[in-house]
Amino acid sequence: MTPAALDALAELADPRRLPREIPSLYRRTLDGAASPAQCRYPSRIVPKRSASECLICWGLPPSKGDGGLPTYRALLTQANAALLDGAPLSREPVCSTCVYENYRTIYDAKFRNHSGISRKGFWFMLPRNDMLLGTDQILIQCNDDSLADEVQRYNFTAWLFLNIGQPCFLMRPVAFARNTAALELRIDYLEASREVCSAWFGDGDPEVYKNQDWYTDAFGTYTNASGGLKKSVYEGLSRKRAVDHPNDDYSQVFKIATTVATADPSQYVARVKAVVDLRSWASYFGMAGLFGDWDHYGYSEMHNYYLYMPPFGKARLLMHDPDFMLTDTPGVRWPSQRPVPNRMIVNTPTFQRTYWSALKDAAAGPLLPA
């Protein structure tokens, strides 16, 4: 139909509107073709890929869960819902429609289980050209009694880091349901990855890496047969998050590895200062140690951080996955179990002062008695 014909079918005011309500618009469109359309929306067909769908559901309960919480709803076919329920540990996505509140509907969204050890929840993976709340990936986590303590640890950690001026992951209570099921209390969680870095630092296309190994230092020195840094090792240890302009450039990670390996003590401090945002690293090590979270870089394990490395700025460590925060008596602890942070924070007096300063910021700020 022509735009003029569509305009003729658009009512300018909803007759159901009550007096003094804000005027609303609705559009009624008819298929006036001699041969009505027969194909499903959308019409595009991608070779070797199942057809995408636009799901429409009647009789949905109102959004806004208990307490006026933001509301997500996943619309799934019965077949796709059965696939998810039949394979709770699978990460294979199915087609869905994402409904947010009563004003956003996103078609052709992918939806999968948040699978893994002790993980419960779902992922929305949205088209890059139809993002929601500034992101194309939304994690909806369970909020049952078995995770109550963990949720509190996450909330405390995010509050702590934000109050000492450091970027961190974000989470909030929401309502969620699949299809017409009753709304349940859940958590939506935004990792300290690309979206957080983009919003915090104003970087339109941030390069962010996540350590993938529990026991190998991603900033160690790993060389190939010719003596150069072995890219395949660094790719395996620091997984690069997808960027708008895909590339496999790891020169930023090489820069950190080369800097922290500086042998000459007289050059070490100046080089580290030029490449590493020391307040960020000190805050990461300091807060994890202060509240007994051994499951972080510098302590028993090597993982649970994001690395943000701007092309013309300094490398920052961002907190991730504080499952063991507040599980030990608070106290000053040092990241002495791994060579890179041990040399940087424990054995370099200049950087020790930054570490103590980060702890003081917490003690004299958010940790003061109410």
Predicted pLDDT at 202: 87
**Rounded-to-integer distance, Cα 45 and Cα 43, Å:** 6
User: What values do phi and psi take at 112, rounded to 5?
Assistant: -145, 165
Domain positions in the chain are 71-190, 197-363
Predicted pLDDT at 13: 45
Predicted pLDDT at 272: 97
**Rounded-to-integer distance, Cα 178 and Cα 316, Å:** 38
Contact residues for 33 (Cβ-Cβ < 8 A; gap 6+) = none
What sign does the dihedral 12-15-17-20 (CA atoms) show?
positive
**Rounded-to-integer distance, Cα 79 and Cα 84, Å:** 9
pLDDT band at 102 (very low <50, low <70, confident <90, very high): confident
pLDDT band at 29 (very low <50, low <70, confident <90, very high): low
User: What values do phi and psi take at 362, rounded to 5?
Assistant: -70, -45
pTM of the model: 0.78
**Rounded-to-integer distance, Cα 211 and Cα 218, Å:** 7
Higher pLDDT, 145 or 196: 196
Predicted pLDDT at 143: 67
Assess contact for 281 and 340: CB atoms under 8 A: no
Assess contact for 112 and 141: CB atoms under 8 A: no
Predicted confidence (pLDDT) per residue in 316-370, tens digit: 999 998 988 988 888 899 999 989 999 999 999 999 999 999 999 999 999 998 7
